[in-house]
Structure 1
Amino acid sequence: MSDMRLIVAGAGGRMGRALTRVIAETPGAVLAGALEAPGSELLGKDAGVLAGLPANGIELSGDLWSLSAKADGILDFTVPGATIANVAIAAERGLVHVIGTTGLSASDMAVIKTVTSRAVVVQSGNMSLGVNLLAALVKRVAASLDESFDIEILEMHHKAKIDAPSGTALLLGEAAAAGRKVALDQHSARGRDGITGPRNSGAIGFASLRGGTVTGDHSVIFAGPMERIELTHRAEDRTMFAQGAVKAALWAHGKKPGFYTMTDVLGLSDF
């Protein structure tokens, strides 16, 4: 199979630049286009130079339709509005759409899933191997312990992050809820403040911290009578997310239309 031609959405941002670097280092993948928001001051800039690489002749563009004419996939770590705008074009062009955007609402996810009968979508709140293995462990532990063990999810990110809880925290929350065989939206406890009363049995709690330049720390705490289990993942460089996304794109190339996650990519479905 020939090299997979990939477009990086949000190519001027930190994740976009990391994706550009990882594509350049990955056999079987080539950069076919660099997408940026219309009106961005970075339009026309060389994607390679922005990523700290030699110039590659690929200029940032705001026109996904044109870029996608000669591409096989798009790596999308942008914002919900931009991702939803990209969904229809990616599906129309038959691109593999790898979505790492966080802060997606239930309605956003519904829109994304409307195209999966005819397009390949890989979506995850976190693309790293370690986090997805952690989620598998969380599901298994949650299934093994009864409600005498309270579940709390603690996450910390850099001060510029705009959504909370993080997509990874929600991914871990969904794993815990799946282990307990409950719906997360009916058992989620967030933003405790003031006189809240005692903790509700069966709740899955979230706490979000923001500050400095933290790439991403996540802990899932199972607090039981006289003992506590803590499962933790610490991200040290966003490059690992980019590596996971490129791995997901290469895995998805040639797959049947459908909705996939990193659990599928990493073969953890039956863990």
Structure 2
Amino acid sequence: MIRIGVFGANGRMGQALLQATEKATQSQIAGAFVRPSSTFYQISVGPIIGSTACQLAFSDYQHAETDAIDVLIDFTLPQGMLTHLEFAVAHKLPMVIGTTGLSADEFAKLQQAAKTIPIVFSRNFSVGINLLLNLVQTAAKTLSDDIDIEVFEAHHRHKIDAPSGTALAIGEAIAKAKGWQHDEVARYDRHHDHEEKSQNEIGYSVLRAGDIVGEHTAYFASMGERLEITHKASSRMTFAQGAVRAAAWLKNQPAGLYDMQDVLGFK
């Protein structure tokens, strides 16, 4: 049995993580952490996630009983995640991180922390998306060099970073397979272009609307045919279940920085 503490437990993803932890046969909720100013603070977790078994209340992580926690999970925004990461390092607790939109400096801090504790960091914890990352690499290696490559993604209106972390992960996987430096070939805006696109680039397009959980498509198009590899998520539970799976895998790993490809044995 793995005991999991969840940061940002009052949010939509946080509640999904609590539900996934509660439903998994090999895990249990050891902490549901919120700010003391939150309306959820000190109220019972069970009724919020539809559980009659969970007797915990939402609490402040700074007063957590760390001996009762095996792994922490964090899908909060970058600034909050970094604060939580300091807590994890101080108490030598493994951490699963699904925070997106990290700057180079923020990611460097995550890498530094991984020298002390084991961390699984992934932009997407869906098993399907991680399989897609393998498929797009196969396509990039197999198809001819005159192929046009584009990545499309759609999310709900509240998502802040664009392109999404998952879209970037798809583009980076393609660039790696092609032997390209991603930052040199990524195109985010063609507003001022006055010439035909190059085949040595990866274009990104973004949609933000309504309550779309997450859709990603990699396009490989040539004159005469088009290959589309698509993943559509209909529930946040897909990501939450993957994160809980990652937490169970991470519990006994040595310090280091891992990703969902490691968890699934794709590497």
Q: TM-score range by the shorter chain?
A: over 0.9
Choose from 79, 94, 104 the match for 1:106: 104
Higher mean C-alpha deviation, range 214-223 or range 185-194: 185-194
TM-superposition CA deviations, 1:26-50 (whole Å, max 9, x none)? 1221101011235222222222222
Aligned-partner Cα distance in 1 for 2:88–2:145 = 43
Structure-1 residue corresponding to 2:129: 131
Aligned-partner Cα distance in 1 for 2:181–2:37 = 41
TM-superposition CA deviations, 1:185-210 (whole Å, max 9, x none)? 11110033254532133111110101
Q: In the alignment, residue 35 of structure 1 is paired with which amino acid?
A: F
Matched, 1:236 2:234: yes
Aligned-partner Cα distance in 2 for 1:151–1:50 = 43
Matched, 1:153 2:151: yes
Aligned-partner Cα distance in 2 for 1:195–1:49 = 54
Gaps of 5+ in 2: none
Whether contact under 8 Å (2:31, 2:64) holds in the other structure is no
Choose from 24, 27, 30 the match for 2:25: 27
Structure-2 residue corresponding to 1:6: 4
Whether contact under 8 Å (1:46, 1:59) holds in the other structure is yes
Classify 1:160/1:153 alpha carbon distance in 2 versus 1 (closer, same or farther; 3 Å): same
Whether contact under 8 Å (2:32, 2:59) holds in the other structure is yes
Structure-1 residue corresponding to 2:81: 83
Structure-2 residue corresponding to 1:202: 200
Whether contact under 8 Å (2:216, 2:231) holds in the other structure is yes
Classify 1:191/1:64 alpha carbon distance in 2 versus 1 (closer, same or farther; 3 Å): farther
Aligned-partner Cα distance in 1 for 2:212–2:125 = 17
| Identity percentage of aligned residues | 38
TM-superposition CA deviations, 1:80-132 (whole Å, max 9, x none)? 11111111211221212101111112211111010112211001110011000
> Counterparts of 1:209-224 in structure 2 under 5 Å?
209-224=207-222
Structure-2 residue corresponding to 1:54: 52
Give the CA RMSD over aligned residues. Answer: 1.6
CA shift for structure 1 position 178: 1.1
Choose from 236, 248, 251 the match for 2:249: 251
Choose from 139, 142, 145 the match for 1:141: 139
Aligned-partner Cα distance in 1 for 2:211–2:70 = 34
SS in 2 for 1:141: helix
Gaps of 5+ in 1: none
Classify 1:137/1:47 alpha carbon distance in 2 versus 1 (closer, same or farther; 3 Å): same
Aligned-partner Cα distance in 1 for 2:67–2:31 = 10
Aligned length: 267
Aligned-partner Cα distance in 2 for 1:185–1:7 = 35
Aligned-partner Cα distance in 1 for 2:178–2:124 = 21
